[in-house]
Amino acid sequence: MKAIALIALIIIYCNLIVANEINVDQLSPTALLTSPCGSTATPCANLKVALESAQPGDRILIAAGVYAGDLNVNLVINIAGLQIVGVAQLTILDLGLNAHAFLVLQPNILFVNLVIKNGLSLDASLAGAITVRLNVPALSAAVALNNVLFQDILGGALLLDCGGSSSSPSTQCFVCQPHHQEWSQLRCFVGWSHHCQIECPCT
């Protein structure tokens, strides 16, 4: 009986720590507009429903294509440990006018291989592309970017609010994978540049 209980505990624990992959492919004929979705057979049709289907630690894999419209902009990430992964130079988030990409409210979020373009936020508390907002400094990086291109973003590409001020945020708030970067080294964000690239080779 004890052995059975131990095996059950191990299975439950493993299920908790194994990340799921949620596929997003707006061009798939079997893509779903409602949650749950994300298998290779029935991918999610947009980013909004993908986030609704996600659990902590999941990987959201976005197929090549241009993702635009209300269901792919102004997205709130309130799930810790998500990885949002596109296809290098081929997964494009076109924000259009008066829209931003992500408001990050939980730590340990990784963005990989994305082009984010044409963002504009009329809300001074939000960046044109990605805003990170935590009540206290994260124990580890709140957001990490690897090969992310910001293009024609108005109002600032990235705004960090991790327990410090936007002009002097916590150095634990941002990581350029796989190496930590100090705020002063992020030249494309100093002065709120609207066109820049964060490219960090995996080693």
Residue ranges covered by each domain of the chain: 21-198
Res 138: pLDDT: 47
Tokens of 90: 């081929």
Q: Which ranges of the chain have pLDDT less than 70?
A: 1-18, 135-142, 155, 162-203
Contacts of 100 (CB under 8 A, 6+ apart): 73, 74, 119, 120, 121, 126, 127, 128, 129, 130, 131
According to the model, what pLDDT value does residue 41 have?
97
What 8-state DSSP symbol labels residue 125? Answer: T
Region for 123 from its dihedrals, namely left if φ exceeds 0, alpha if ψ lies in -120 to 50, beta otherwise? beta
Distance between CA atoms of residues 6 and 12, nearest Å: 10
Q: Which amino acid is at 7?
A: I
The pTM of the full predicted model, rounded to 2 decimals, is 0.75
Instruction: Specify the pLDDT at position 136.
Output: 54
pLDDT of residue 78: 94
Please tell me the distance from the alpha carbon of residue 121 to that of residue 30, in angstroms, as a whole number.
33
What SS3 state is found at 177? Answer: coil
